[in-house]
């Protein structure tokens, strides 16, 4: 009886530990360079033949050159840094360009923490802690500054200066996910009265804001 109880306790602890620590799975080999031509569907991208792997599979150049901002609505552009050699290693990277006055609006990544490095310019960057504190942690970042955002917390950036800003963001998941709060509320199919009650406002206000999100 005692032995059975001990085994049950160990099983519960093992299952609990696995749940708490579960993020991207650990790799089973040195690397698994992504093979975009493979037709195999799996949790990630199929591995390239190790014999065909070259140094360029781990390289991405040009980050020292600023890009252009293509979002007319928010004034920023986010481009994923494509490094095939990072496949299955539980991380991803993004190059961001933000025009003067531009914002990366309030959002969160459900599966990843984030660190952002300012390559050029300055930006107001921060996050808000969870309910009930809802405390703001924010700083004006300048070239060479790094700011960290814990997993799943709402964060934002605003280029409130007069020059373009370029950032490099690293995320702790190959598929971090992205939830834009404004789009979730106003660009989806949520009923107007529900959104109005959630925001302590009226349906007319919600309809007006939704019309803004329908514009290109």
Angle at 180 between CA 179 and CA 184, to 5 degrees: 90
Confidence of residue 67 (pLDDT cuts 50, 70, 90): confident
Ligand-binding annotation for 91, yes or no, is no
Asked if residue 148 lies in contact with residue 115, where contact means CB atoms within 8 angstroms, the answer is: yes
Residue in 88, 79, 37 with CA at minimum distance from that of residue 60? 79
Confidence of residue 181 (pLDDT cuts 50, 70, 90): very high
Helix, strand, or coil (residue 28)? coil
pLDDT at 9: 41
For residues 202 and 28, what is the distance between their CA atoms, to the nearest angstrom?
54
Neighbours of 104 (CB within 10 A): 24
pLDDT beyond 80 at 216: no
Ligand-binding annotation for 114, yes or no, is yes
For residues 76 and 211, what is the distance between their CA atoms, to the nearest angstrom?
21
Helix (H) / strand (E) element for 6: namely helix 2-20
Ligand-binding annotation for 93, yes or no, is no
Token pair for 156: 């934002």
Ligand-binding annotation for 109, yes or no, is yes
For residues 166 and 94, what is the distance between their CA atoms, to the nearest angstrom?
11
DSSP string, 67-98: -----TTTSEEEEE---GGGTTSS-EEEEEEE
For residues 116 and 147, what is the distance between their CA atoms, to the nearest angstrom?
5
pLDDT tens digits for range 15-65: 344 444 446 777 778 888 998 888 776 667 899 999 999 999 999 998 888
In the chain, the domains with their CATH numbers are: 69-177 (2.60.120.10), 184-213 (no CATH)
Compute the average pLDDT of residues 60-85.
Answer: 88
Residue in 73, 159, 153 with CA at minimum distance from that of residue 113? 153
pTM of the model: 0.82
For residues 69 and 37, what is the distance between their CA atoms, to the nearest angstrom?
30
DSSP secondary-structure letter at 111? T
117 exposure class (CB count in 10 Å sphere: 0-12, 13-18, 19+): middle
DSSP bridge partners of 116: 147, 169
DSSP secondary-structure letter at 42? B
pLDDT tens digits for range 93-134: 999 999 999 999 999 999 999 999 999 999 999 999 999 999
Handedness of CA 59, 64, 68, 74 (dihedral sign): positive
* Percent residues over pLDDT 90 in the chain: 71
Least confident of 69-73, 124-128, 177-181: 69-73
Compute the average pLDDT of residues 173-178.
Answer: 95
From residue 123, alpha-carbon distances to 30, 53, 69 in Å are 37, 38, 15
pLDDT at 41: 65
């Amino acid at each position: 009886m005692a032995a059975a109880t001990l085994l049950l306790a160990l099983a519960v602890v093992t299952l609990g530990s696995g749940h708490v620590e579960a993020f991207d799975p650990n790799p089973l080999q040195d690397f698994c360079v992504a093979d975009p031509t493979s037709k195999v569907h799996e949790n990630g991208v199929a591995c390239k033949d190790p014999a065909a792997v070259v140094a360029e599979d781990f390289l991405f150049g040009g980050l020292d050159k600023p890009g252009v901002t293509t979002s007319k609505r928010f004034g920023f552009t986010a481009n994923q840094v494509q490094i095939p050699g990072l496949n299955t290693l539980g991380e991803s990277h993004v190059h961001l360009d933000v025009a003067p006055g531009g914002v990366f609006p309030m959002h969160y990544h459900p599966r990843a923490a984030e660190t952002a490095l300012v390559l050029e310019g300055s930006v107001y960057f921060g996050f808000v802690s969870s309910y009930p504190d809802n405390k703001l942690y924010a700083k004006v970042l300048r070239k060479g500054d790094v700011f960290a955002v814990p997993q799943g917390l709402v964060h934002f950036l605003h280029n409130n200066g007069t020059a373009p800003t370029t950032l490099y963001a690293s995320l702790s998941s190959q598929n971090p996910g992205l939830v834009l709060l404004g789009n979730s509320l106003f660009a989806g199919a949520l009923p107007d009265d529900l959104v109005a009650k959630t925001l302590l406002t009226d349906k007319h206000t919600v309809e007006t804001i939704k019309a803004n999100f329908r514009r290109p």
